[in-house]
Amino acid sequence: MKAAVLREVGKPLQIEDVSIGKPGPREVLIRTKAAGVCHSDLHFVEGSYSHPLPAVLGHESAGIVEAVGSEVRTVKVGDHVITCLNPYCGHCEVCLTGHMNLCISPETKRGKGEEPRLFREDLSGPNGERTGDTKMAQFLNLSSFAEMMLVHEHACVAIRKDMPFDRAALIGCSVMTGVGSVVHTSNVRPGETVAVIGCGGVGLATINGAAIAGAGRIIAIDRVPAKLELAKTFGATDVIDAGAVDDVAKAVVELTSGGVQHSFEAIGLKATAEASFKMLRRGGTANVIGMIPVGTKIELHGVDFLGERRIQGSYMGSNRFPVDMPRLVDAYMAGKLKLDELISRRIRLEEVNSAFDELKRGELARSVIVFD
Ligand SMILES: [Zn+2]
Ligand SMILES: [Zn+2]
């Protein structure tokens, strides 16, 4: 099958022929129909996060179940599915206490002695015969930039078949992350005030989630005026152009006469993470969603904790994805969740590098790779 491979940090992805294994007892083979190009992929291309290489990237996808292993019970052949990059075992401490998004049980992956899920056949014998295959690392348990995916059954969920694949794919990462941060991680209640820093795919989904949750004031913050305009259609009641004010946190505190109850950092920078805490009113909660580069430290004023201000991480929207994702599909079909506006371009797998270039330029863009 064709797949987009990262061989070296900082280099473009290469389209290569990659082989995929047969489903093990609890595994599912999925024909990929759509895969979003997410900022997190770019973090690994640029090296601010590291991953074993070569790797097939991609982690925001939807497809059709092609084959299932002998013990699979959650999906069947022909099901339309959304994937999730955090597979869960279902019986460890975090799974049993309702935090399945934090499960790191090794049983959802293939172990060291087992055949890799993805590999490249090595036909370099003297007469072109197969010698030793090269392992290709699976990215975030999925590797969606490929015509097929082989995943644990707890890394996907079946959805209704009238849901378009390109929009379903977005629910697999950015939309779950944004909406989940509002409704699960920070538990926004009707009428509360919210600020969102960064209006890319995740930030817009966060704004949309806050609107669905019934937040009162929703303040969108970005440097790109076009993104702020789009934020309004997602439910922002106020916008702040970060390029036009000296101090974003101060602007939010002034606008809200004391700060917000919930803030969401959806970029992944030291300065914006610190600002997310500074803009809280007493008792408020800051949620860091963005991927802050490894090694970066965040500095806060200790005295602010006296006002019971909190700062916390939010990973994949603290999801319970087998329940959440089908609900998000229903919310889209009912016209409550906005997905159409998030997609700026539908591209072929071969065009994946151009999508990264757009992300790097900070453009209003979320490209979705579509497969026939
Ligand atoms: Zn993502
Ligand atoms: Zn678990």
What pLDDT was estimated at residue 361?
Answer: 86
What is residue 368's three-state secondary structure? strand
What pLDDT was estimated at residue 310?
Answer: 98
What pLDDT was estimated at residue 126?
Answer: 81
pLDDT mean over 224-228: 94
Q: In which region does residue 74 sit, left (phi positive, over 0), alpha (psi from -120 to 50) or beta (all else)?
A: alpha
Dihedral sign for Cα atoms in the order 94, 99, 103, 107: positive
What pLDDT was estimated at residue 345?
Answer: 93
- Give 303-320 pLDDT, tens digit per residue: 999 999 999 999 999 999
The chain-wide mean pLDDT, for the chain, equals: 95
What pLDDT was estimated at residue 125?
Answer: 78
For the CA of 366, the nearest ligand = 1
Q: Measure 240 CA to ligand 1 centroid, in angstroms.
A: 25
- What is the distance between the alpha carbons of residues 326 and 324, in angstroms, rounded to a whole number? 6
Packing angle of the helix pair 201-212, 225-234 (nearest 10 deg)? 30
What pLDDT was estimated at residue 363?
Answer: 75
- Give 81-95 pLDDT, tens digit per residue: 999 999 999 999 999
What pLDDT was estimated at residue 212?
Answer: 97
Q: Measure 175 CA to ligand 1 centroid, in angstroms.
A: 9
Q: In which region does residue 10 sit, left (phi positive, over 0), alpha (psi from -120 to 50) or beta (all else)?
A: left
Q: Measure 128 CA to ligand 1 centroid, in angstroms.
A: 39
The H or E element that residue 290 is part of is none
pLDDT mean over 35-63: 94
Active-site positions? 38, 40, 43, 59, 173
What pLDDT was estimated at residue 107?
Answer: 94
Q: Measure 100 CA to ligand 2 centroid, in angstroms.
A: 6
Q: Measure 155 CA to ligand 2 centroid, in angstroms.
A: 12
Alpha carbon of residue 107 to chain centroid: 22
What pLDDT was estimated at residue 69?
Answer: 98
Where do the domains of the chain lie, and which CATH numbers do they carry?
2-171+318-370 (3.90.180.10), 187-313 (3.40.50.720)
What pLDDT was estimated at residue 133?
Answer: 78
- Give 174-224 pLDDT, tens digit per residue: 999 999 999 999 999 999 999 999 999 999 999 999 999 999 999 999 999
- 336: tokens are 């409550």
For the CA of 103, the nearest ligand = 2
Confidence label for 113 from pLDDT (cuts 50, 70 and 90) = confident
- Give 118-171 pLDDT, tens digit per residue: 999 877 778 877 777 789 999 999 999 999 999 999 999 999 999 999 999 999
The model carries a pTM of: 0.95
- Give 66-85 pLDDT, tens digit per residue: 999 999 999 999 999 999 99
- 303: tokens are 């005295």
What is residue 21's three-state secondary structure? coil
For the CA of 91, the nearest ligand = 2
